[in-house]
Amino acid sequence: MKLEVSDAPVAGERLEELTPRQIVAELDRYVIGQTQAKRAVAIALRNRWRRQQLRPELAEEILPKNILMIGPTGVGKTEIARRLAKLAHSPFLKIEASKFTEVGYVGRDVESMVRDLVELAVIMVREEKRQAVRAAAEKQAEERLLQLLLPAPPTPTMSSTGEVEKPDFESTREKFRRKLQAGELDDRMVEIEVDETGSPSFEMFTPQGVEEVGINIKDMMPGLFGRRTTQKMKVGNAREILIQQEAEKLIDRQQLSREARNRVEQDGIIFLDEIDKVAGREGGQGPDVSREGVQRDLLPIVEGSTVATKYGPVKTDHVLFIAAGAFHVSKPSDLIPELQGRFPLRVELDALTEEDLVRILTEPRSALTRQYSALLSTENVDLSFTPGAIREIARMAVEVNSRTENIGARRLATLLERILDEVSFEAPDMGGISLEVDDEYVRHALQDIVQDQDLSRYVL
Ligand SMILES: Nc1ncnc2c1ncn2[C@@H]1O[C@H](COP(=O)(O)OP(=O)(O)OP(=O)(O)O)[C@@H](O)[C@H]1O
Ligand SMILES: [Mg+2]
């Protein structure tokens, strides 16, 4: 028996429902500066929502404006994507363009990103559907538990007197139900069928992507995957497993595939990181040839084509692509022209100033200084930084960046690691002290290295 599954989206704001201002505000909590890039991304997302409000004929015509983010290394390109992904209730895939190889070569072909995106959408939609059928699944799981704890008698038994003895089965059952609901039977043992987990997942590792190998092996060797075994366990543990199993039965797989495909087609976002790594044109040799091949393979997908997936064909016309790259060796103009044309919106990220670095060290919720304080608090060391120390670290980061290689905010990590080297090592033996790192401490920890250019090249 199938229950009706509601088509209504589960409550919770979808990314597209946020206004550009809200999206930027969200990103501001983690990424310092880079306003232009944040705005571009926010507008692109809002445009998809706008499009969906239009008549289908018109909406069909409006294609997404793909974005190319350009900026030096370590200034927040990937960080923007990472935070966006957490924000996004849309299927969002971040992948490095350098992972792909040209069709016909060993490696991942570019179409696999669309297949991966569909997998993500399936997980997402399935989770929503699970929530939607949760109540019904809980009910059915309860019935199954009752059945296990108190099997119904096969037929009424005849007593010696020849009367039909009618034990009040129903009322016993209801008594059990109440106990079950109160959790009083949670320690009883039951035997249930469970999917054998930890079955080998070749699919993860195949260069061709999930598809080919994934399904075929499953089809060929049905026994190997999803084998079920019976396991004894406590009612308390069995309950959740049974709820999951019942929920699975209530979800219509075809509808799930259809919705997931639709979600990808309408809302999907692909973040192509390190796009500069596949820049390079004809005339080159060796890797260049293959890079251009990857770009050629990317073209139809970015432009809009249909990709076969195991959940059915998916059109990529309205998928939003955001590409990013440092482009310090190559230039956007080293991409083949057709591909350049597919990324009409260009945004440049700024190099980070000392002021930015000060903020990066302190403001984001996951700022490095907070991370270290949290880590050391587990050792009973109360670590804090004075504003002077923060300023000094930022200043040194700028200095080292300018004298050696400019690696942006990543420099902060190497500096901090160095500054806290001693306390990180000694912490367990320090036994509950407070340590306030000030500018003097920072200078002292770094002086030898920062002054010696060769040394800082290696150590920092
Ligand atoms: N603007 C920023 N705000 C907050 N943190 C930042 C910022 N820029 C960089 N960071 C920090 O530096 C790290 C590296 O940044 P990110 O991965 O975004 O670099 P990138 O711009 O993608 O560089 P690459 O071109 O080398 O990939 C991040 O993990 C983040 O902690
Ligand atoms: Mg990056």
pLDDT tens-digit series, residues 149-203: 888 776 665 555 555 555 688 888 898 899 999 989 899 999 998 876 544 444 4
DSSP 142: H
Q: DSSP assignment, residue 126?
A: H
| Distance between CA atoms of residues 39 and 26, nearest Å | 12
Q: Please choose, from the candidates 272, 345, 299, 266, the residue with its C-alpha nearest in 3D space to the C-alpha of residue 62.
A: 266
Check residue 108 and give its pLDDT: 76
Helix, strand, or coil (residue 76): coil
Determine the Cα–Cα distance for residues 164 and 159; give it in Å rounded to an integer.
Answer: 6
pLDDT at 38: 95
Neighbours of ion ligand 2 (CB under 5 A): 77-78
User: In Å, how far from its chain's centre is CA 314?
Assistant: 21
pLDDT score of 453? 65
How confident is the model at residue 89, as a pLDDT?
Answer: 77
Q: Quick one: pLDDT at residue 447?
A: 82
| Per-residue model confidence as pLDDT tens for the chain (460 residues) | 333 333 333 334 555 578 999 999 999 999 999 999 999 999 988 888 899 899 999 998 898 889 999 999 999 999 998 888 777 778 999 999 888 877 666 667 889 999 999 999 999 999 999 999 999 999 999 999 999 988 877 666 555 555 555 568 888 889 889 999 998 989 999 999 887 654 444 444 444 444 444 444 454 554 555 567 888 999 989 999 999 999 999 999 999 999 999 999 998 999 999 999 888 765 555 555 577 888 888 999 999 999 999 999 999 999 999 999 999 888 888 888 888 989 999 999 999 999 999 999 999 988 999 999 999 999 999 999 999 999 999 999 999 899 888 999 999 999 999 999 999 999 888 878 899 999 999 999 988 777 776 666 666 6
**Nearest-10 crossing angle of helices 112-149, 253-267:** 150
- Residues lining ligand 1, Cβ inside 6 A: 31-34, 71, 73-79, 326, 360, 364, 408-410
Give the DSSP letter of residue 351: P
Does residue 220 sit in helix, strand or coil? helix
Structure confidence at residue 5 (pLDDT): 35
Ligand in closest contact with the CA of 325: 1
For ligand 1, the distance from its centroid to the CA atom of residue 359, given in whole angstroms, is 13
E-strand stretches of 283-360: 306-309, 312-315, 320-325, 345-348
Locate the ligand 1 atom nearest the alpha carbon of residue 80 and give its number: 18
- Other Cβ atoms less than 10 A from the Cβ of 168: the count is 9
* Mutation test residue for ligand 1: of 35, 70, 79, the one with most atoms within 8 Å of CB: 79
Alpha-carbon Rg for the chain in angstroms: 29
Residues 6 or more apart whose CB falls under 8 angstroms from that of 235 comprise 145, 149, 180, 185, 186, 187, 188, 189, 190
- Rounded CA gap, 458 and 425, in Å? 21
pLDDT of residue 432: 82
- 74 CA from centroid of ligand 2 (Å): 7
**Contact yes or no for 102/299 (Cβ under 8 A):** no
Q: Which residue puts its alpha carbon closest to atom 24 of ligand 1?
A: 73
Give residue 9's pLDDT.
34
User: Which ranges in 150-234 belong to alpha helices (H)?
Assistant: 169-181, 211-220
Amino acid identity, position 12: G
Pocket test for ligand 1, best of 94, 349, 353, 410 (most atoms within 8 A of CB): 410
User: Is residue 453 packed enough to be buried (19+ CB in 10 Å), middle (13-18) or exposed (0-12)?
Assistant: exposed
User: Strand pairing partners for 346?
Assistant: 68
Tell me the pTM. 0.76
